[in-house]
C-alpha cells in the first residue's frame, strides 16, 4: 500500500510538471511519466487490494493460520484461465508441446473448476501449522485426506483443499500455500 501511495504522489508531481507548470525542456517526459506512473499506481493498488482481501477470502473456506506476518498476492483462477486460453490459442510445435486438442481440453477442464490460491507467512513453525490443521475445528468440515507433512490434503463434497507448509529458513516461521479447487460444473 505504501508503494501505491508513493506512485500516486509521483504521478501527481509528474502531472503538474507535464501539464500545469510553465514550459520547460522536460515537459514531454513529465507527461509520459504521469501516464506511466499512474498506470503503475493502479497496478500496485490492485495488488495491494488483493493482498488486503486475501485473508477474508481464505476465511470463507478454512480458518487462516494464526500469527500471520505477511500475505502474498497470487493470481485467481480466472486470471490463470485467461492466460491459459491465450496460450492454448498460440500455435506451438516441438517435442514438448501438447497438441491443439490437448491444450483445448486443458482449458475446458479448467473452466469447470475455480481454483483460488493464497500464500501466508506466519511466525509459527512448520510443525505447529501442520498440528493446527490436524485439529478438526479450524478445518470447518473439510475431511483430512492426506497427511504427508509438509503437504496436507482435504476434501469436502467434490471440492479439494491442499496446503503446503515450508520453513522460512534462516528466518523463524513458515509459509503456507493454500489451494482450493471448487467444482463449478460437470466434468
pLDDT at 35 > cutoff 60: yes
Reply yes or no on whether the pLDDT at 37 is more than 80: yes
> How far apart are alpha carbons 145 and 6 in whole angstroms?
46
Give the model's pLDDT for residue 71.
86
Pick the residue with more confidence: 184 or 17? 17
* pLDDT, tens only, 96-138: 445 556 656 655 655 666 778 889 999 999 999 999 998 877 7
Whether the pTM exceeds 0.75: the reply is no
Tell me which fold the domain 61-187 belongs to.
Answer: TATA-Binding Protein (3.30.310)
Amino acid at each position: 500500500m505504501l508503494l501505491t501511495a508513493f506512485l500516486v504522489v509521483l504521478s501527481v508531481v509528474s502531472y503538474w510538471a507535464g501539464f500545469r507548470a510553465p514550459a520547460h525542456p522536460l515537459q514531454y517526459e513529465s507527461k509520459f511519466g504521469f501516464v506511466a506512473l499512474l498506470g503503475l499506481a493502479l497496478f500496485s493498488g490492485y495488488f495491494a487490494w488483493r493482498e488486503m482481501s486475501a485473508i477474508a477470502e481464505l476465511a470463507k473456506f478454512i480458518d487462516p493460520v494464526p500469527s500471520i506476518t505477511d500475505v502474498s498476492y497470487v493470481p485467481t483462477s480466472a486470471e490463470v484461465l485467461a492466460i491459459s486460453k491465450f496460450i492454448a490459442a498460440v500455435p506451438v510445435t516441438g517435442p514438448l508441446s501438447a497438441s491443439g486438442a490437448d491444450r483445448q481440453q486443458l482449458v475446458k477442464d479448467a473452466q469447470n473448476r475455480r481454483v483460488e490460491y493464497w500464500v501466508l507467512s506466519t511466525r509459527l513453525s512448520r510443525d505447529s501449522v501442520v498440528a493446527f490443521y490436524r485439529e478438526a475445528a479450524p478445518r470447518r468440515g473439510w475431511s483430512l485426506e492426506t497427511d504427508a507433512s509438509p503437504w496436507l490434503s482435504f476434501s469436502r463434497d467434490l471440492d479439494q483443499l491442499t496446503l503446503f507448509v515450508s520453513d522460512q529458513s534462516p528466518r523463524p516461521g513458515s509459509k503456507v500455500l493454500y489451494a482450493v479447487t471448487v467444482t463449478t460444473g460437470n466434468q
